[in-house]
A and B are shown apart, each in its own frame.
Chain A
Amino acid sequence: MTQFLQQLINGLSIGSVYALMAVGYSLVYSIMNFSNFAHGGVIMFGAYFGFFYLTLFRLPFTVALLGAAISTSILAIIIERTAYKPLRNRKAPFLYFIICAMGMSIFLENIIIALPFIGPTFRTYPEIFSKTPIKIGSLAIGRLDLLMFIISSICLGLLVYFIDFTKIGKAIQATSYNIKASALMGINTDFIIITVFALGGFFAGIAGVLFGMKYTVYPQIGVITNKSFIAAVFGGLGSLPGAVIGSILLGIIETFTSGYVSSQYRDLIAFVLLIAILVIRPRGLMGKLNEDKA
């Protein structure tokens, strides 16, 4: 029982960080109908931004975290402007967007490797939070795990509020349903696209820092973030609640596999899950259905 609860807590913690990453995939997909594979690169940049803000500039943790989030937010906007906007202006097919995103992802990874002061070395975040876990009865909760869960939950809560209760949030929902109709409402769809990239980038930065603290920072960290893409597909691409639920489930499945089977099977199970979902329910747990009547 203790082990079960322990694994559940670990699963929730890592799942909530996956959720932060997955909402970025889902937000972009919901508006632009393509999977933005450059998102992993943005998350990786977030890990580096956070690392250097903490070590080089010796900023306090909260400032470094926010700084990383703002930096990746700007990075995501730059990617949109330079890579995707030209394609949109030419009304390119969606496949081109995906290929462009993959190219961008490789570019981001390699620019880090190429930069002389960063390079391919693995880096470890300084120890900000004590490694001694908090004991509750026989349960040991890592301080970092708890922090990951709390920060992710706050971010996701803010996102839900923003999407459901603000005017821009409603405009994002409208644009995700039909981009032409939303332009007819006077919504500046170009601005909505920028907003969506900025939001995704912001959460990517936070997720990158948390991920970097939990593990290590290296240029290929974006590959691991593919799992959050799996979570987004699992939950239903384009659906925010789907992305969150899919991520939490993936996190729990992963930790349970590591805990009860073997950590070597962890990723195997994650990918088998993706394939199974795609076979059984191609639109994911909560993917959108077309409800157009006319």
Chain B
Amino acid sequence: MLIINNLHVYYGGIHALKGVSLTVNKGEILTIIGSNGAGKSTLLNSISGFLKYKGEIIYKDQKLNFSPNKIVKMGICHVPEGRLVFANLTVEDNLLLGAYLRKNKKEIKEDLEKIYTLFPRLKERKKQLSGTLSGGEQQMLAMGRGLMSNPDIMLLDEPSLGLAPLLVETVFNIITDIRNMGKTILLVEQNAFKALSIADRAYVLEQGNIIMEGQSKDIANNPKVKEAYLGVKK
């Protein structure tokens, strides 16, 4: 569904991605794990059109080379790191902005109800300014807002960052629910343990290079990964 070939990204003199290639298959949860500064967010920002890169990104047999708003139109939705909810707007306005490019009002309304079923907390707070939500609620809002664009693939950047353990659990359950709705998910996480537990396949990104790829189970059992990312000592 999404194929990345030999992707290079530079920030001035810094070579942030050094020839990354990967494939995302339809309907799977693919996770990219890696430590801070490995290039995970850079990868997602390249896909959603914020960065200039060398190499190619192919989505549904089409080369992506557009501005961010056109990429959203193609069914790619990026839920950014740090949620970036519109704190000056209400929860419901945030969700409706997620459907900015859609025209069919009836479908938008139906989807809004679906989001409220998936995230009952958002329904309770729909008239509240989203800046007053807790971090976990903001993460749910960011994901709900992303879903409102009715995407085929969702790029999730560190959805568990800064959340209490119980909420981390909830967020990962919701990611599985979203996949079961028929969406493809590209999940970037520092919480490798949780990410590997829900993902089908995984890549390990280290200093701009993919150093490992495979089924999540195998990656999780790899001794090197265990030591570096799962905190298991030999």
Which listed residue, B50, B81, B149, touches A185 by the CB 8 Å rule? B149
Q: Interface size (A, Cβ < 8 Å)?
A: 24
Partner of A180, one of B72, B84, B88, B93: B84
Contacts of A176 in B (CB 8 A): 88
Docked complex Cα distance between A174 and B96 (Å): 11
Q: Measured between C-beta atoms, what is the minimum distance from B35 to chain A in Å?
A: 19
Instruction: Identify which of A181, A190, A292 gathers the most chain B CB atoms within 10 Å of its CB.
Output: A181
Contact in complex: A294, B138 (CB < 8 Å): yes
- B78 x A184 contact (CB < 8 A): yes
A174: B residues at CB distance < 8 A: 86, 89, 97
B83 interface hit (Cβ, 8 Å): yes
Q: Which among B67, B83, B89 is the interface contact of A170 at CB below 8 angstroms?
A: B89
- Is B162 a contact partner of A291 (Cβ separation < 8 A)? no
Binary contact track B52-96/A, C-beta < 8 Å → 1, others 0: 000000000000000111001100011111111111110001001
Q: Is B100 positioned at the interface, with any CB of A under 8 Å from its CB?
A: yes
Q: A173 — which chain B residues lie within 8 A by C-beta?
A: 86, 88-89
User: A176–B88 Cα gap in the complex (Å)?
Assistant: 9
Bound form: Cα–Cα A288–B87 in Å: 11
Tell me whether A188 and B97 are in contact in the complex, defined as CB-CB below 8 angstroms, given that A177-B89, A178-B84, A293-B138 are known contacts: no
Given known A-B contacts A173-B89, A174-B89, A185-B72, A180 and B97 have beta carbons under 8 A apart? no
Within the complex, the shortest CB–CB distance from A280 to chain B, in Å, comes to 24
> Residue B161 at the A interface, CB < 8 A?
yes
B145 cross-chain contacts in A, Cβ below 8 A: 185
Are A187 and B97 in contact (CB-based, < 8 A)?
yes
Assess whether B72 is in contact with A186, with CB atoms less than 8 Å apart: yes
The answer to whether residues A294 and B69 also contact, given A173-B88, A187-B100 and a CB cut-off of 8 A, is no
Q: Is A183 an interface residue (CB 8 A)?
A: yes
CA–CA, A167 and B98, complex, Å: 12
Residues from chain B with a CB closer than 8 A to the CB of A184 are 48, 68, 72, 77-80, 84, 146
Report A-chain residues with C-beta under 8 Å of the C-beta of B69: 183, 186-189
- Contact: A288 with B162, CB < 8 Å? no
B230 to chain A, nearest CB (A): 25
| Closest 4 pairs between A and B when the two form their complex, measured CB to CB | A291-B131, A186-B72, A181-B84, A294-B82
Residues of A within 8 A of B80 (CB): 180-181, 184
Asked if B101 CB lies within 8 Å of chain A CBs, one says: yes
**Whole-angstrom distance between the Cβ of A154 and the nearest chain B Cβ:** 26
If A183-B69, A184-B72, A293-B131 touch, whether A178 touches B100 (CB-CB below 8 Å) is: no
Query: With A and B bound together, what is the CA distance between A286 and B93 in angstroms?
Result: 21
Residue of A nearest to B148 (CB): A185
Whether B135 and A293, one on each chain, are in contact in the complex, defined by CB atoms closer than 8 angstroms, is yes
Nearest neighbor of A190 in chain B, beta-carbon distance: B67
Interface status of A171 (Cβ within 8 A of chain B): yes
Q: Bin the interface of chain B by size.
A: 35 or more
Query: Could you list which residues of chain B lie within 8 angstroms of chain A, going by C-beta atoms?
Result: 48-50, 67-69, 72-73, 77-89, 93, 96-98, 100-101, 129, 131, 133-135, 138, 145-146, 149, 161-162
A167 / chain B contacts, CB cutoff of 8 Å: 100
CB-CB contacts of A155-187 with B at 8 A, as 1s and 0s? 000000000000100110110111011111111
- Which chain A residue has the least Cβ–Cβ distance from B45? A180
Least distance between A93 CB and chain B CB atoms (Å): 15
Which chain A residue shows the least CB distance to B82?
A: A294
Nearest residue in B to A292 (C-beta to C-beta)? B87
A99 to chain B, nearest CB (A): 23
A182 to chain B: which residues have CB within 8 Å?
A: 86, 97
- Give 5 new A-B contacts, CB below 8 A, not counting A189-B69, A293-B134, A294-B81: A170-B96, A185-B98, A186-B73, A190-B67, A294-B135
- Determine whether the beta carbon of A294 is less than 8 Å from that of B72: no
A292-B82 contact in complex given A186-B72, A189-B69, C-beta closer than 8 Å: yes
**What's the Cα separation between A182 and B48 when bound, in Å?**
12
CB-CB < 8 A to A292: which residues of B?
82, 84, 87, 131
Cα separation A185 to B96 with both chains bound (whole Å): 10
B48 touches A288 (CB 8 A): no
Query: In the complex the two chains form, what is the Cα distance from A194 to B68 in whole Å?
Result: 17
- Please indicate the chain B residues that have their CB under 8 angstroms from the CB of A294 in the complex: 81-84, 135, 138, 161-162
Which residues of chain B have C-beta atoms less than 8 A from A171's C-beta? 97, 100
Chain A hits for B134, CB < 8 A:
293
Cα-based distance from A173 to B73 in the complex (angstroms): 21
Some 25 contacts from A to B, beta carbons below 8 A apart, are: A170-B93, A173-B86, A174-B86, A174-B89, A177-B86, A177-B87, A178-B84, A180-B84, A181-B85, A183-B49, A183-B69, A183-B72, A184-B68, A184-B72, A184-B78, A186-B73, A186-B100, A189-B69, A190-B67, A288-B88, A291-B131, A292-B84, A293-B87, A294-B81, A294-B162
Q: Mark A187-214, 1 if CB is under 8 A from B, else 0.
A: 1111000000000000000000000000
